[in-house]
Amino acid sequence: MRDGYAIAVEGLTKRFSGREVVKRLTLKVREGEIFGFLGPNGSGKTTSIRMLCGLLTPDEGSGTCLGYDVIRQTADIKRHVGYMTQRFSLYEDLSIRENLDFVARMYGMPRRRAAVDRALERLGLANRRNQLAGTLSGGWKQRLALACCLLHDPQLLLLDEPTAGVDPKARRDFWEHIHGLTAEGITVLVSTHYMDEAERCHRLGYIAYGTLLAQGTPREVLEGSGLATWSVEGGDLYGLAAELRGRPGVAQVVPFGNVLHVSGSNPALLDETIAPYRAQGGRRWTRAEAGLEDAFIHLMEGARDNYQ
């Protein structure tokens, strides 16, 4: 039974050389939504994704992906999921069309030519069909990789940092494709480092050191962080930041261009600490809403390093 969830797992754990790289992951992704999976490098995102699509067997835990058991029915999962890896893994000495045809052969698709033609049109690759993959820019390689993921009409896409190293225009085009796919009923789980991409997701999960620390809509994650934030403009913000770091009630001080964000989880204590600085004049202090980056940094600072 799927009960409206494309992914429903509980307690997934994976160890390498005795170290837990994913700890008791419990995750639910609704059908037809874009779920953003965020976390720093080495946090366990890729390992989690590989357990979900049947490439790694969990040491503990249970659950389903598209209604198939993540331990006993991995072959069924692979037939219905499209997985896009972090690195471009297609043949650079083959053309776009030849790469798509090769993937179609791997899936044993009975009408390969028609499927390849659909993929070329779907991702706007038709005019470049004979171009060698190795000559493509990062954005076009990304588009080709997504086309390969869609060849077998998957119900779920697992995209592992698909826009890393891609220019802003290509990233925006990619996300337009993603939202178009969810409009067709496809579910997407995508890992990313970019906060603007996190805001494009319906719901988010944040993982650090193998532990899922937060889960919900962007608004729910922000509210759950409990952060109070002040925005500061004016002179010598670098010096001000150095003075404030480590003071009572100050959880983090983060520069954003010509503005400084000063945040804490105890609003009253934070206000008490910054009161003398506000009275000095020469700077403009305004209450601000914490952003996702503020919330995630705060979450990570409270997490325990699984290398220790």
- Which CATH number belongs to the domain containing residue 151 in this structure? 3.40.50.300
Q: Say how many domains are in the chain.
A: 2
Q: What is the CATH number of the domain that holds 272?
A: 3.30.70
Q: How far apart are CA 108 and CA 216, in angstroms?
A: 38
Tens of pLDDT, residue by residue over 23-32, are 999 999 999 9
- Give percent of the chain above pLDDT 70: 97
* Residue 133: DSSP 8-state: G
What pLDDT is stored for residue 40 in this prediction? Answer: 85
- Please tell me whether residues 181 and 259 are part of one structural domain: no
Q: What average pLDDT does the segment 259-282 reach? A: 93
Q: Do 185 and 134 lie in a common domain?
A: yes
| Region 205-216 average pLDDT | 92
HSE-CB at 262 with a 13 A cutoff on CA atoms is 31
Smallest Cα–Cα separation from 103: which of 86, 85, 76? 85
pLDDT value, residue 139: 87
Q: Is the pLDDT of residue 196 over 80?
A: yes
With a cut of 90, say whether residue 290 has pLDDT above it.
Answer: no
Pick from 56, 55, 71, 94: nearest CA to 10: 71
What pLDDT score was predicted for residue 302? Answer: 62
Residue 38: give the domain boundaries. Answer: 5-217
297 confidence band (pLDDT: 50, 70, 90): confident
Whole-angstrom Cα distance, residue 236 to residue 250?
18
Residues 6+ apart with CB under 8 A from 176: none
More confident call, 224 vs 26: 26
Average pLDDT over the chain, rounded to an integer: 91
Is residue 223, in this structure, part of any structural domain at all?
no
Q: What angle do CA 69, 75, 76 make, to 5 degrees?
A: 65
- Is the model's pLDDT at 7 over the cut of 90? yes
Same structural domain, 213 and 237: no
pTM of the full predicted structure? Answer: 0.87
Residue 159 sits in the same domain as residue 266 = no
**How far, in Å, CA of 268 to CA of 295, rounded?**
18
Own/partner long-range contacts of 101-109 (Cβ < 8 Å, ≥24 apart): 103/148, 103/151, 104/151, 104/152, 107/79, 107/151, 107/152, 109/151, 109/152
Q: Are residues 109 and 11 in the same domain?
A: yes
Same structural domain for residues 65 and 153? yes
Cα–Cα dist 158/192, whole Å: 12
On whether residue 138 sits in a domain, the answer given is: yes
Residue 242 and residue 207 in one domain: no
Which of the four pLDDT bands, split at 50, 70 and 90, describes residue 308? very low
* Exposure on the CB side of residue 96, measured as CA atoms within 13 A: 25
Q: How far apart are CA 198 and CA 218, in angstroms?
A: 8
pLDDT of 175-193, one tens digit each? 999 999 999 999 999 998 8
In this structure, the answer to whether residues 169 and 266 fall within a common structural domain is no
**207 vs 2: which has the higher pLDDT:** 207
Q: Do the Cβ atoms of 207 and 160 come closer than 8 Å? A: no
Q: What share of the chain is helix, strand, coil (3-state, %, to 5)?
A: 35, 30, 35
Q: Are 120 and 33 part of one and the same domain?
A: yes
Taking the CA of residue 4 as centre, how many other CA atoms within 13 Å lie in the half-sphere pointing to its CB? Answer: 2
In a domain, 301, yes or no: no
Same domain, 119 and 58: yes
Q: Which pLDDT score is estimated for 1?
A: 45
Confidence band of 266 (pLDDT split at 50, 70, 90): very high
